[in-house]
Structure formats: structure tokens, C-alpha cells
Amino acid sequence: MIKIQKGKPIIDQHDSSYLYAGKFGGNFVPETLKKPIEDLTKLFNKLRRDKKFIKERDYYFKNYVGTPTSFIKLYNLSHQLGGAQIYAKVVSEANGGAHKIYNAIVHALICKHAGKKYIIGDTGAGYAGKMLSMAAKKFGLKCKIFMGTKDMARQKPNCDAIRANGAEIIPVDSGSKTLVDAVSECMRYWVSNCDTTHMCVGSTVGPNIFIKICAWSTAQISRELIVQIKKEFGKIPKKLKLINCVGGGSSSIGFWNSFMDFNKKQVEFIGVEAGGPKNSKLHAAPLTNKSKIGILHGAAQYVLQDKEGQISETQSISAGLDYPGVSPLHCFLKDAKRARYTSATDEEALAAYKLVASMEKIRPSLEPAHAFAEAIKIAPRLSQDTIIIVNSCGDAKKDKFILEKRLGKNHD
């Protein structure tokens, strides 16, 4: 049976081949990248144990990102639905409007420590790209962002922000023209320029070291939350459900990290994947829909693919969740039965956005709207003493045009 070890960071629970549970993750990369990955692994291992580096990280998290982000009760929503009490961790308050800023800042710091002047990254919803461009500007790094042309069209506000920060967007027109192709193209660029350039992978995917750096960075979310929960309730509630959307899985792993060792009956993790348009077979939910293990972007994971190992196209209203694979860490949590995974359709996410935006002050982007859809679904049948916390990890500004198109001009 696959078990999560207590008292050991989840990111370090791999074997000597960097595989979690002996089968997820690893470094399935071209020979050229072996050395750069090894160098980065050594550097990160050193830095994460270096008090000065931690101080530096915390300084920027506090003064640039703006920590802690608030933890609020959604009174109206809770009242309307009855049942469980619904709270939100408003991570979208972070500078830039989403959790991607944590990973971006850490990568920019690592890039500086590695003595490199160029930084590259992929983006789907545009948040990872926007944040990396912000961090690059802050630390004086030259930045290129790889983005699928389909995503560029649907997430224009973030593209404008990336360019305003002085970064260059490299349009990726191959394959499905979305995140999966952006990550591939970014990796290709790194193969050719790994001697001068640092690569940031925008989520907890890719070769092992990128999964580690990203999850280590977003762990800030639950470090704050556990303190806020204790302050609000005096202790960790007996029935707590932490609901988060899952695309690559970076926000959820950070949202859950500090609660990993709790019994799942007390602290349940619920991951919500993108179900795609209603009745469509093109979804982006490899964990919910029992995909087989395959290799994508250097790591073994549950991934949508055909019998011959060709990666499948996905479709979701949310560019940030529109990815055929998922973090090996989530595959590990699923097989260890520590987390439960489900999906919400495009329509459910839109309806959830509408309800939350009409009743509360927060405006969750289409990614966390998937998590709210699950909260809305389950809250009415739960007891009053059950606490649901949704990670509202992104702000809906970037979805302005999609929301106008689907819900009308005055959508909230």
C-alpha cells in the first residue's frame, strides 16, 4: 500500500530515481538537460537550508507579495446554501493576483544566486507568465514567456501585463496551442540555452526539481492558513475540508502542505479538475477520469493519452486547468488516498463564479471557480460544524472577456 510518510516534506518523499511511490515523477529528459538539472538540484538543496536565503525569500514574500493574504468567512454564501460553514483563503490578494507569484519570486532569486541573467517560463492562464515577468523586472532579469496562441487570445489582459513588465512573449502555435505546447517549447528553448538561462516551470510539473521548487514556494499558502485557522477557531476544527482546483496542481499542493500529517477524516483534501464543456469528452481531468500513467514533460504521471502514448488534447474554459497531465505529487496523494479528486464542468464553474460574485466581495477566476463549484455542491449536505475552506487562488480580472461573453456584460 502506498503511504505518505509523516514528518517528512511531501516533496522529499521520492526514491533515488526521484520517483514518488516508485512510479510518479522522475527525470525523463534529454541528456543535455541532465547536468543543468543536477546543478539546479544541488543549488536548491543548498539554498533551502540556508537561513540567509530563507530570510531573503520571506522578505520578498512579505514586502513584495504581501503576506499573509486574508482568510475570510463567506457569510452570505454559507447562509444561502445552509450546511457547512464556507471560508475562503483569498490568495488572489497576492501581488499580481494569484499564487503564481510565490514560485516566480523563488525562481528569480535562484536565478540570481546561479549568476544567470536570463529567465524563461511557460504560462497557460497567463498568471505564471505575468508573475515571472514581474519578478524578472524586480530583480533585473531578462525574461521570455512561452504561451500558446489559443491562450494568448483568451487571456489577453495577462498578456498585456507581461509585455508591460518588459518581458517578451513567445507565441507557441504547435499542437493544441495551449499550456502543454508552451511547456514543451519552453523546455526546448532551455535545451538550447541552458548555459546562460534559468528555466522556471510554472506549476508542480516537469522534471523533479521543478516540482520541488514550485511546491516549496506555494507552501507559503498553508503556512499562513494554519496560523489563521488556529486564530479563528482556537484549534484545527474536527471536520475541515480544503477544496482547491487542480490543473498542474501548484496552488493545491501549497494549500494542503502544512496539513499533510493530519488524519484525512479530520482534514480532507478535495482537488477539483476541469471537466470541460458539459457532455464533452474533451476534459482535463486525468485523476478523476482514471487516466493511465504516462510520461509528459519529463515526469511520469496520470496523463490523458491514447493507447499509443500520444498526449490527448484537452478543453476547458479555464486556461490554467487546461492541461492533459497533473503533478506527480497529486498522483502520489491520490494513490495514497490522502486526497480525493473530482471535476467540475465549464458550466458549473461559471455558475459558481456567478453565485460567489453576486453574494460576496471576492471575484474568483475561472480556475478557483471550479473549486467553488464543488463547495457549493457539497456544503448543503454537510453539518453546521463542518468547515469548508476554498483556496481562491486567482482573480477574475484576466477572465473579463470570457465572463462577458458567457454571462453578459453585467455578470456580477
Residues that bind another protein (CB under 8 A): 17, 26-36, 174-175, 180, 184, 187-188, 191-195, 292-298, 305, 307-311
CB of residue 45 to another protein, shortest distance in Å: 18
Q: Of 194 and 373, which has the nearer Cβ to another protein?
A: 194
CB of residue 285 to another protein, shortest distance in Å: 19
Q: Whole-angstrom Cα distance, residue 104 to residue 128?
A: 7
Cell of 371: 473549486
Q: Of 97 and 121, which has the nearer Cβ to another protein?
A: 121
Question: What value, to the nearest 5°, has the Cα angle with vertex 11 and ends 299 and 88?
Answer: 105
Q: Of 322 and 399, which has the nearer Cβ to another protein?
A: 322
Q: Of 46 and 188, which has the nearer Cβ to another protein?
A: 188
CA 191, 135, 47, 296 torsion: positive or negative?
negative
Helices 127-139 and 100-113 meet at what angle, rounded to 10?
40
CB of residue 12 to another protein, shortest distance in Å: 19
- In the block, residue with C-alpha cell 516537469: 206
CA 55, 58, 63, 64 torsion: positive or negative?
positive
Q: Is 169 helix (H, G, I), strand (E, B) or coil?
A: strand
Longest dimension (CA), the chain: 57
CB of residue 44 to another protein, shortest distance in Å: 18
CB of residue 295 to another protein, shortest distance in Å: 4
Q: Is 310 helix (H, G, I), strand (E, B) or coil?
A: coil
Backbone angles phi, psi at 210, to 5 degrees: -70, -35
Beta pairing partners, 240: 267, 387
Q: Kindly give, in sequence order, each residue whose CB lies less than 8 Å from that of residue 99, ignoring residues fewer than 6 positions away.
A: 91, 218, 221, 250, 251, 254, 391, 393, 394
H/E segment holding residue 222: helix 220-233
CB of residue 383 to another protein, shortest distance in Å: 45
Bridge-based pairing of strands 293-296 and 387-391 is: unpaired
- In the block, residue with C-alpha cell 504547435: 174
CB of residue 369 to another protein, shortest distance in Å: 28
CB of residue 137 to another protein, shortest distance in Å: 27
Bridge-based pairing of strands 240-245 and 267-274 is: parallel
Q: Of 182 and 243, which has the nearer Cβ to another protein?
A: 182
Q: Of 174 and 266, which has the nearer Cβ to another protein?
A: 174
CB of residue 289 to another protein, shortest distance in Å: 17
Q: Of 101 and 183, which has the nearer Cβ to another protein?
A: 183
Q: Of 175 and 237, which has the nearer Cβ to another protein?
A: 175
Q: Of 267 and 303, which has the nearer Cβ to another protein?
A: 303
Q: How far is CA 218 from the centre of its chain?
A: 8
Exposure of 306 by Cβ count < 10 A (0-12 exposed, 13-18 middle, 19+ buried)?
exposed
